[in-house]
Structure 1
């Protein structure tokens, strides 16, 4: 389990032998555990807030969040990655220089947010944005003044303390939002535009606690302003390679909200945001696991003939889990929305179904991208992001013209399919074949969702929404159980030394 993996040793070896070092195993556990806990906190807070506030608030916050993320990513000079990848560790002078640049960047971002607030409000016809954006933009200042310990601990794979800081800050932010929203509802009613302030101030509370904890609860140097010309050269030399990637990542990940925000009412954008938050949970989990575990594992094997086998072994549980979740959301998504949210969010049901299809392509593409990155073929990563962006900017407006909001979402799904196709082509060039397996799994998702949907409709006619949700979910589990059990048995066999085949391999 701990021996080195060379060209001969890697051939046929279980993937666990590549990744099961104590630090990586522990870090992966904390990364995924922290992600799961954070998502549960966010989901619980979102569930409460949807009952206290009205959909328009979520639409406004979606625009604010997208603008702030855009400013941050368009100015990303790779300070965190530069610290993490610094060979031999970063000196105190380097860390202080990085922190000084980070502080200055945070202040500049806030000034940009203030300058853009009025034009942004005018563009979307929402006067309140002129006030909300400058205040929400203060989070960039808080982030800028965070300790560089947030990066040095990540470099050393000491994720326990980072996870606890993140969860504490997130918990305080959510509690503050809920408390202020409840107070606002009792004093002014849920329909008042000023309800947005509850979410804005809650975000500042969480960011403030994170800033304080980064300095007092994490080990690290004592910060002061310092600039070193040599270290600045290193920082910006590294950052120029980050710049293009982060711009494309932002445009790919957030353009849907910017484009839809101009096409549809903010109330409907808020409904879309509720559905997207649920649909993105499995995708974000796959992306987190891909960066924390799969990319390092693939990188260790990239020079060996075992790469394709390792790729399928590592990808199999993610693909299987994603297929089960996609089937469940397609079949039971509308019933889940009815159980969790009131009638104002009813349309989120069919939105969730379409986004589940997009999420399936995103899960597959996330595993593809980790492998392409490990192979060092960065042009294919840029190509698949550019393909997604170009197709989305073309297909969303066309879809909207043909069938309104529903047509726009179909265009969004199609753009994710295009991104997946480009990444699959990149792997095919790298001698990794996967399309046949993915087509088979996609067909199985469609078939199981149809069967489960039929069962849900029949049960719903007899016993209501809860019965429909339960019936659809049970059918999905029953349909996929044989394949899941088969894979688990093979995984247990692989732990005893026998190679684990990828999903869909011959028995």
Structure 2
């Protein structure tokens, strides 16, 4: 464009290309990219929150909140009926009677869980050897009731791949939680700051679940046919979830008993940082791959193996590279984010990030096999995982103590991933060369992360 042409444009500026803007918009609104952007923003906010809270609160606070989170996760997994997967896959997933029944079951589950925790709170505190936590456990049960009365539209939105709306909702909830936790911590200097912020944000999320989506109101209903279908699906999910409970929370419950609260708080900070990649591994697998594979299976599309690898090629390569970078740069990340009191979190973060590296191929295999009808897969793979962690944990703890147990946790995904590859091969979905290529992308990530640590960490000493 010459100067004469520029003079014809108001202000002398070049007008935006509508075609280019349309392409950028379409690129940003792709399911995978929405998940990536959402995960990046969420992790940035959590990192900022963590940095601020560690300067306002003592390490023991994170040990206490870590215990409460573990208890909540434990009870949630023990009572898991697999509502999300059931709603996404069921052919009647959009019918009012079906949704009324699932919502009613969700509310009933939350009430029963709340009553159970209230009754067991003294025993749980005694089992952990921390009797002062009894009142905290009792108060935290309110979150189950709040979550239980949320609208079922949070699940139907996944069925219809409304990823952007869900991501914006969750980002708004997290923003409120971070702001409240920092403000409360500034004034209270207590673990009540984090717990109160969590419950208020849960209430906000429940409110948004009714305001953001249409047809959000449901009425009580108990359809025997749908309940029977749910149990047929949930009997595998519940069994798998109970095993998952021991797998994901066993280390925390054991270490909460073995470690003093300050050291356990440091371990929980490492757990949260190692969980940053898991947010993408879970979100991408459950929100992008699961609906995609389920739709492809229902439509009878050919070459499912080609679809399986084509859909996840670039995300898998980038994820492995980033997870490798986290492993290599863990000491640098801890040095940048926290003061020297938290230096021990570096070795925990490196070990736990190995599990995060393997999470995406493992979760991707879950969704592909579940979508094609292998509902019992999670139960079988979790049995494999349980046996592996039991053997590795006992050996590791007896040889290296607490660090040996953490090492076993970091390697926890290896046995089930091999098992899932075997299952994928049986149904003609496995391309082992591609799987190994995806994992190999972590090697340059580790190298670059380690080089960055070597060069930059002395600046933060």
Shorter-chain TM-score range: 0.7 to 0.9
- CA offsets, 1:133-183, max 9 Å, x none? 111110001111222333333333334443333322222222221111111
The normalised TM-score by structure 1 is: 0.75
Q: How far has the Cα of 1:296 moved from its partner?
A: 4.5
The answer to whether structure 1 residue 368 and structure 2 residue 372 are counterparts is no
Q: How far has the Cα of 1:411 moved from its partner?
A: 1.6
For residues 42 and 267 of structure 1, what CA distance do their matches in structure 2 show? 20
Say if 1:240 and 1:178 are closer, same or farther in 2 by CA, change over 3 A: same
Write the mapping of 1:144-293 to structure 2, written as runs, cut at 5 A.
144-185=148-189, 195-220=190-215, 222-229=217-224, 232-293=227-288
For residues 73 and 148 of structure 1, what CA distance do their matches in structure 2 show? 19
Name structure 2 gaps, 5 residues minimum: 1-25
Q: How far has the Cα of 1:256 moved from its partner?
A: 2.6
Q: How far has the Cα of 1:202 moved from its partner?
A: 1.0
Say if 1:79 and 1:413 are closer, same or farther in 2 by CA, change over 3 A: closer
Aligned length: 433
The answer to whether structure 1 residue 464 and structure 2 residue 431 are counterparts is no
Q: Which of structure 1's runs of 4+ aligned residues deviate more than 6 A?
A: 301-305
Q: Which residue of 1 aligns with 2:413?
A: 416
For residues 437 and 102 of structure 2, what CA distance do their matches in structure 1 show? 49
For residues 201 and 264 of structure 1, what CA distance do their matches in structure 2 show? 25
Q: Which residue of 2 aligns with 1:129?
A: 133
For residues 53 and 73 of structure 1, what CA distance do their matches in structure 2 show? 29
RMSD: 3.2
SS in 2 for 1:415: coil
Whether the 8 Å contact between 2:93 and 2:99 is mirrored in structure 1 is: no
Whether the 8 Å contact between 1:77 and 1:243 is mirrored in structure 2 is: yes
For residues 168 and 448 of structure 2, what CA distance do their matches in structure 1 show? 42
For residues 227 and 61 of structure 1, what CA distance do their matches in structure 2 show? 37
For residues 251 and 221 of structure 2, what CA distance do their matches in structure 1 show? 40
Say if 1:115 and 1:393 are closer, same or farther in 2 by CA, change over 3 A: farther
The answer to whether structure 1 residue 110 and structure 2 residue 107 are counterparts is no
For residues 283 and 233 of structure 1, what CA distance do their matches in structure 2 show? 33
Say if 1:309 and 1:275 are closer, same or farther in 2 by CA, change over 3 A: same
Say if 1:115 and 1:394 are closer, same or farther in 2 by CA, change over 3 A: farther
Whether the 8 Å contact between 1:331 and 1:452 is mirrored in structure 2 is: yes
The normalised TM-score by structure 2 is: 0.82
Q: Which residue of 1 aligns with 2:72?
A: 68
SS in 1 for 2:135: helix
For residues 39 and 455 of structure 1, what CA distance do their matches in structure 2 show? 20
Say if 1:398 and 1:25 are closer, same or farther in 2 by CA, change over 3 A: same
Say if 1:295 and 1:201 are closer, same or farther in 2 by CA, change over 3 A: closer
Whether the 8 Å contact between 1:331 and 1:449 is mirrored in structure 2 is: yes
SS in 2 for 1:464: helix
Deviates more, 1:119-128 or 1:363-372: 363-372
Q: Which residue of 1 aligns with 2:10?
A: none
